[in-house]
Amino acid sequence: MPRIADEVARLDAQGERWIAFEYFPPKTESGVANLKDRMQRMKRHAPLYIDVTWGAGGTSSDTTMDLCVDAQKMGLVANMHLTCTNMPREKLDNALVSAHEHGLVNILALRGDPPVGQVDFKPVETGFACALDLIRHLRAETGNRFSITCAGYPEGHPDRIKPASELGRPMSATEEARSSVDVETGVVYVCSDKHFNEELLYLKAKVDAGAQMVVTQLFYDTQVYVTFVDACRAVGIVVPIVPGLMCITSAPGFFKMLKFCKTRAPPKLLAEMTALKDAEADKVKAFGVAFGLDMCNALLASKRTTGLHFCTMNVDAVVDGILQGLHWQSAAAAASNASASTTIANPWWMPGQVPWWS
């Protein structure tokens, strides 16, 4: 199976566009079956790879492994998330052995969220406390067997994002540019410049330890990503830095993620989503496509990436719409359809059009 970090570096160097899809493991057998059907449908977009998360709180790890194996049987390249949550050393090493036996060669190494009911992350006995230790262990125990990806945080890690009032001073221009607002309380949050710079050095340590690619935490402000990439380059991080894009599929989901991740939403986006709080689902999805399309075009125009990593939330409608707007074609489709017009007549997300899923 291809090592995705090498493929991404090659495509970025050649200026070739690529996409990836991220899924999470459902909790029921019917949910897993539905996801496999969706993965099969979305395969037509020819993603460079698909990600499967390890499961919140360390749950669903077996399902993650099974989905990755099944994805590769479908002809997809799987990038398996692996976290430190509820993972003693023996369980972690068993997962690595199983991954190798099933032909999985790509891993996204993360600390993970605290287990359910635990506020602060605490490693289990013999487990690891952070992604850096996990990456070091992967390289020490398996050499170059796996292509390792790690996470980057354009606004700072959520654990480092605190109320701006705790700064004891006005925010700097750089702090203000990545600050967020809790829409329920009006409290402004920010990762201080000091902590942000420490986060950059920590990310460099993960890369130096063996991570060959970075996928970012979700963001909704394109300039935040551009600034982050430039800051990474300034401290010597040279590996690909892929934008992680959380599609807007529902108003409740959007506001939940803003609060959970302390993510910045530009004022215009915040106003538009507030106006859509009680709107019909189709209208929110249509807005999610239009916003996502603008964001993807801006990211590609920034020349900081040629790839787009879509966090699908196991929903394909919005991603499909964005890719249609981007005139996305797989290499095979483009080769056989080279002379076809890329003009889209009456795309479904324009006013007055009927969504295809109606």
Catalytic residues: 22
Q: Exposure pattern of 72-89 as b/e (b: 16+ CB <10 Å)?
A: beeebbbbbbbbbbbbee
Query: Any idea which residue has 């009006």 for tokens?
Result: 186
What SS3 class is residue 151? strand
In the chain, what is the straight-line distance between the N-terminal and C-terminal CA atoms, in Å?
38
Secondary structure letter of residue 194 according to DSSP:
H
* 3 state SS for 73-121: HCCCCEEEEEECCCCCHHHHHHHHHHHHHCCCCEEEEECCCCCCCCCCC
HSE at residue 109, side-chain half, CA atoms within 13 A, is 29
Gap between the Cα atoms of 112 and 84, Å rounded: 6
| H-assigned helices in 213-314 | 222-234, 251-261, 267-275, 281-301
Gap between the Cα atoms of 243 and 240, Å rounded: 10
Specify whether the CB–CB gap between 148 and 5 falls below 8 A.
yes
Dihedral angle, C-alpha 63, 67, 68, 71, nearest 10 °: 180
Contacts of residue 321, Cβ cutoff 8 Å, sequence gap at least 6 = 285, 286, 288, 289, 292, 293, 347, 348, 349
